[in-house]
Amino acid sequence: MQKSAVFFLWVLFALTFNEGCASRDDSLPNLGEVSGTVTLNEKPLANVSVSFESEGGQVSFAKTDEQGHYELKYRDGVMGAEVGTNKVRIETVMDAPPAPGYRDPIPPKYNRDTTLTVDVTEGENTHDFNLVSK
């Protein structure tokens, strides 16, 4: 299965799970507002997906703008990410299957094999990521 299809299914599952939980229980965990900038080799990364997954499995998402800036959304109308340690994934968003020979500029250690974690605290959090392609 192609990377973009796997990513789409993962996002769809996470959003469905979040919405399902919301319909049963409107209480929210402790959230912190999270924003920052993503760069690759010190250049802004536009239109990439940023996701934070809490130790409890809740996922918050964002897509970077042209300057690489993002603001995480916990679910529709609720900004932020769950307080505590979160695993971070940064992935290329593709609208169509990649061309033969396409090589993702973001190394797997930042997405599929992520090594990134951050601590989210209550209030405002800024987490910038300077990815290195080598």
The pLDDT tens digits for 49-60 are 999 999 999 999
pLDDT higher than threshold 50 for residue 99: yes
Domain 3-131 grouped into CATH 3.40.50.150: no
Say which residue the tokens 């409107």 belong to.
26
Please, which residues have CB within 8 angstroms of residue 50's CB and are 6 or more apart in sequence?
38, 61, 62, 63, 64, 70, 72, 88, 89, 90, 129
Tokens of 20: 């399902």
Tokens of 109: 């250690």
pLDDT higher than threshold 70 for residue 1: no
Average pLDDT on 94-116 reads 91
pLDDT higher than threshold 80 for residue 65: yes
Residue 79 CB burial class (10 angstroms; 0-12, 13-18, ≥19): middle
Give the pLDDT confidence score for residue 98 in this predicted structure. 85
pLDDT higher than threshold 70 for residue 19: no
Of 42-51, 101-110, 119-128, the poorest mean pLDDT is in: 101-110
Average pLDDT on 97-111 reads 91
Give the pLDDT confidence score for residue 95 in this predicted structure. 83
Task: Check if the beta carbon of residue 104 is closer than 8 Å to that of residue 78.
Answer: no
Give the pLDDT confidence score for residue 5 in this predicted structure. 56
DSSP letter assigned to residue 76: T
